[in-house]
Amino acid sequence: MLEVDAMGQPVVVEDLDPDWLLALLDDAKIAARVAERSKLRLAAQWCVRHPATTDTGVATWAGDALPGVLHEDESLGGEGTPAVSAFAPEPVAAALGVSTLPG
């Protein structure tokens, strides 16, 4: 089985000693964290581009509020986060392959 090390070089996993295997596992852990951070940054930018307004309504955990009524106290992000327009979370969830339904 081939894998790629942190420098982008292919390595044959079966040929690795235990220390190298552990080093590759550590590299994989870091790469996963970098990927998760990237997803969070991209989702945050999506939210910045889709703020809740009286025209769009707001995304809430109970369902999207109707336009003209902003229930920011029930906002999807919770206290301290900016309100996101209704229906803005669905495309992000679809891109990430996750559900928008709570629970």
Q: What is the pLDDT of residues 75-91, one digit of tens each?
A: 777 677 778 888 888 89
Taking the domains of the chain in order of start, what are their residue ranges?
1-39, 50-103
C-alpha angle with apex 14: 12 to 20, nearest 5 degrees?
75
pLDDT over threshold 70, residue 73 = no
- List alpha helices for the chain, DSSP H: 18-49, 89-96
- Predicted TM-score (pTM) of this structure: 0.72
| Mean of the per-residue pLDDT values of the chain | 83
pLDDT at residue 96, rounded to an integer: 93
pLDDT over threshold 80, residue 70 = no
Residue 4 · residue 10 · CB < 8 Å = yes
Which of 8, 6, 83 is closest to 47 using CA atoms?
83
Q: pLDDT digit string (tens) for 22-48?
A: 999 999 999 999 999 999 999 999 999
